[in-house]
Amino acid sequence: MLENITQAQIKQMTLKELLALCEEAREKITETVLKSGGHLSSNLGMVELTVALHYVFDFPKDKVVFDVGHQCYTHKLLSGRCGDFSTIRQKGGLSGFPKRAESEFDCYDTGHAGTSVSAALGIAKARDVKGEDFSVIAVIGDGSFNNGLVYEAFNSLRLLNTNVLLILNDNGMSIAPTVGSMHEYLEILSEDISHKQKKDRHAKIFERFGFAYDGVYDGNDLERMIDKLTEVKNRLKNESVILHVITKKGKGYSFCEENPEATHGISIKNAEAVTEEYSAVLGRTLSRLAEKDERIVAVTAAMTTPLGLSDFFKKYPKRSVDVGICEEHATILCASMATEGLKPYYAVYSTFLQRSFDEIVIDICEQNLPVTLCIDRAGISGADGETHQGVFDLSFLNFIPNLTVAVPKDTKEFEKMLEFSANFNAPLAIRYPRAGKRIFDIQSEIVLGKWEKLIDANGKYVIIACGERAVTLGIVAAETLSASGIAVSVINARFVKPLDTEILDNLKETHIITVEDNMLLGGFGSLIDVYFSESDKKVKNFAYGDGFIPHGGVNELMDEFGVSSGAIVDYIKSNEN
């Protein structure tokens, strides 16, 4: 039924047909994700709720914003994208997140947590200003519900004087189990059996902000969800409503239901060998360092396991904090703990660190505090696309005073950098990709601001690269060119800031090629351009140009966006002619 289904057809269906539609969607999602990777258990939990939304509301006239957005698969299947669904998260295929550019049924692009309530309010406000008439819905998980943005949006509901429906999809998990007091409060609510009683006792916290609170409902019970949404749709003419819905993450597949964290995101193993993930090195090394150094504490924002820190958290519970999806708060906790002499490590994905920009500037760096940012999934991260690429971090960190920025060339160097960090008494950022794929032979001691020569070829060209991917490209390019008789040196710029001015000032090569897995503007190469702006050296930068990078495989995207050994080789060869 799913194939080519229309909104009109959905509305004509009997309950029995709708239930069959749910099963078909569930199978399609499971089959596709197990084959190509993607978000599994969150989408399985959302099937009935999404079918009910499409049955009751009138999309695309009505608008639904999915918080974070990875739970939108059923919505995609029901809105004309079933035929392309097998291409999801692959280069050129459907996005794994809502995209306005992909379908008129996607009204707002999401990717980072907590934005849906603000976005729904803005859409509703615009509707009111224009004098139009449609419903606006935000669907937000209990994990995102921790984020401060939700409170900011709540706080302005009465000000904006508009009506939205907020569906709180409570499955007790972000990626890891949800933490924090609001979650505990939601748990109390969800354990109530009699709705009447519960509403009277507990709804006040939401009513204060202008929402009518309704729930708890079983979001996997299609019939009840349809009835409830039909009722709520009418109420939206006069008020904003929070509908508290319990769904089962992984619903319908016992393995997913029993392992919701492990099946949140499914990665399809690449043929390429991975020596070790950087996260594993972080966890192992930090645990070891913490044995001898009682000042070390670790902070995460709802990502403890994928960041490699679950063992650390078990071993040092008093020195570990997972604050939930609150990246700004996590950053200030680190800064303030550092003021009292602790040595905090904040581990975070590159893309989510964007949320902490102001706190890195003001709280960590202006106070010059010894916080270490361990920035995982840096560079192109791949299948999640535009909103998740870690290609901006060097650009938004490089110009912050007092901050040292380090980029290890392999997991072994990362381990050494972590050892270095333990005795480093100032703000430090270390950025690295997920997968470590090779270990280089040369492993010199880590000294602040000192680079490492990997190939000294005594020619006209030198490649200066930072990070494992870029250094690997540099080495491959140099070896290829060497075979053609062109001598190219290669330097590992393990510190992007400060630059190794001793090496730069004494370069005998006249033509510098920089390579990095980051945006050109503000990135590593641009620092070299600035350094040599008055000199006669020629500098050519290999980095990402001025555009967002969509989803796809890491290597294919790096190739397409111009950071490849082939592009370096071609450039140097063309320069020789």
Sites for a second copy among residues 96-125 (CB under 8 A): 100, 107-109, 111-112, 115, 118-123, 125
Kindly write out the interface string for residues 532-561 of this chain, putting x where it contacts a second copy by CB under 8 A and - elsewhere.
Answer: xxx-x-xxxx----xxx-------------
Does residue 485 interact with a second copy by CB under 8 A? Answer: no
Residues 446 and 236: their CA atoms lie apart, in Å, by 61
Q: 379 or 522: whose CB is closer to a second copy?
A: 522
- Total number of residues that touch a second copy (CB under 8 A): 110
**Residues in 378-397 at the binding interface with a second copy, rule: CB under 8 A:** 386-387, 392, 395-396
Q: Which is nearer to a second copy, 93 or 550 (CB)?
A: 550
Catalytic-labelled residue, pool 28, 76, 99, 355:
355
Residues 6+ apart with CB under 8 A from 214: 199, 228, 232, 241, 242, 243, 244
Does residue 212 interact with a second copy by CB under 8 A?
Answer: no
**Which residue's CB is nearer to a second copy, number 159 or number 268?**
159
Site string for a second copy, 59-88 (x = CB under 8 A): ------x-----------------------
Residue 213, amino acid: Y
> Do the beta carbons of residue 120 and residue 47 sit within 8 Å?
no
Work out the angle at residue 423's Cα, subtended by the Cα atoms of residues 490 and 501, and round it to the nearest 5 degrees: 35
Short-list 278, 218, 203, 231, CA closest to 432: 278
Nearest-approach distance from CB 19 to a second copy, in angstroms: 34
In whole angstroms, how close is the CB of 45 to a second copy at the nearest point? 23
Q: Is 332 in the site for a second copy (CB under 8 A)?
A: yes
Closest approach of Cβ 184 to a second copy, in Å?
7
* Contacts with 361 (C-beta within 8 Å, 6 or more apart), sequence order: 400
Instruction: Kindly state the DSSP code that residue 309 receives in the 8-state scheme.
Output: -
Question: Judged by CB, which is closer to a second copy: 235, or 295?
Answer: 295
Measured between alpha carbons, how far is 47 from 218 in angstroms, rounded to an integer?
A: 12
Q: Which of residues 294-323 bind a second copy (CB under 8 A)?
A: 294, 297, 318-319, 321-323
Phi then psi for residue 23, to 5 deg, are -65, -40
| Neighbouring residues of 409: CB distance < 8 A, sequence distance ≥ 6 | 440, 452, 466, 467, 468, 471, 492, 494
Residue 227 in contact with residue 197, Cβ under 8 Å?
no
Residue 476 near a second copy by CB under 8 A = no
Nearer to a second copy, 140 or 150 (CB): 150
Q: Footprint of a second copy on residues 253-272 (CB under 8 A)?
A: none
Nearest approach in angstroms of CB 35 to a second copy is 28
- Residues 25-64 interacting with a second copy (rule: CB under 8 A): none
Other beta carbons within 10 Å of 107: 20
Selected from 129, 193, 271, 273, the binder of a second copy by CB under 8 A is 129
Residue 159 touching a second copy (CB under 8 A) = yes
Q: Nearest distance from residue 319's CB to a second copy, in Å? A: 6
Task: Report the residue number, 82 or 120, with the smaller CB distance to a second copy.
Answer: 120
Contact 489, 453 (CB under 8 A): yes
Q: CA–CA separation, 463 vs 516, rounded Å?
A: 11
Site string for a second copy, 413-432 (x = CB under 8 A): --------------------
Peptide bond into 68 cis (omega under 30): no
- Segment near a second copy (CB under 8 A); pick from 49-57, 234-242, 400-408, 433-441: 400-408
Closer residue to a second copy, CB minimum distance, 119 or 303: 119
Selected from 51, 175, 289, 326, the binder of a second copy by CB under 8 A is 326
Q: How far apart are CA 385 and CA 59, in angstroms?
A: 25
| 419 among known catalytic residues | no
Q: Token digits for 561?
A: 């966006």
Candidate list 48, 327, 386, 468, residue with the active-site label: 327
CB of 483 to a second copy, least distance (A): 25
Smallest separation (angstroms) from a second copy to the CB of 416: 25
* Residue 222 lies near a second copy (rule: CB under 8 A): no
The answer to whether 226 and 56 are in contact (CB under 8 A) is yes
Query: Nearest-5° angle of CA 479, CA 546, CA 507?
Result: 40
Query: Among 23, 223, 358, 570, which residue sits at the site for a second copy (rule: CB under 8 A)?
Result: 358
DSSP single-letter state for residue 129: H
61 and 12 Cβ atoms separated by less than 8 Å: no
Cα Rg of the chain (Å, integer): 26
Question: What is the per-residue binding string for a second copy in 167-186, x denoting contact by CB under 8 A?
Answer: ------------xxxx-xx-
Contact between 203 and a second copy (CB under 8 A)? no
Contact between 402 and a second copy (CB under 8 A)? yes
Among 334, 422, 464, 554, binds a second copy (CB under 8 A): 334
Cβ proximity of 526 and 394 under 8 Å: no
The answer to whether 292 contacts a second copy (rule: CB under 8 A) is no
Catalytic residue among 89, 228, 249, 343, which?
249
Nearer to a second copy, 340 or 445 (CB): 340
CB 355 within 8 A of CB 329: no
- Is 249 a catalytic site residue? yes
**Piece of the chain touching a second copy by CB under 8 A; list 266-274, 451-459, 514-522, 557-565:** 514-522
Residues 6+ away with beta carbon under 8 Å from 540: 511, 512, 513, 514, 571
Report d(CA 27, CA 73) in Å as an integer. 12
Identify which of 349, 346, 302, 308 has the alpha carbon closest to the alpha carbon of residue 322.
302
Q: Which of 398, 472, 492, 565 binds a second copy (CB under 8 A)?
A: 398
Tokens, residue 85: 């669904």
Q: One-letter amino acid identity for 122?
A: G
Given 12, 14, 16, 130, the residue binding a second copy (CB under 8 A): 130
For residue 344, cis peptide bond before it (omega within 30 degrees of 0):
no
Are the CB atoms for 349 and 393 separated by under 8 Å? no
Strand partners, 213: 242
Select 47 or 165, whichever has its Cβ closest to a second copy: 165
Catalytic annotation present for 76: no
Q: Which residue in 102, 209, 419, 439 binds a second copy (CB under 8 A)?
A: 209
Q: Which residue is listed with tokens 């049924």?
A: 105
- What amino acid positions are annotated as catalytic residues? 249, 327, 355
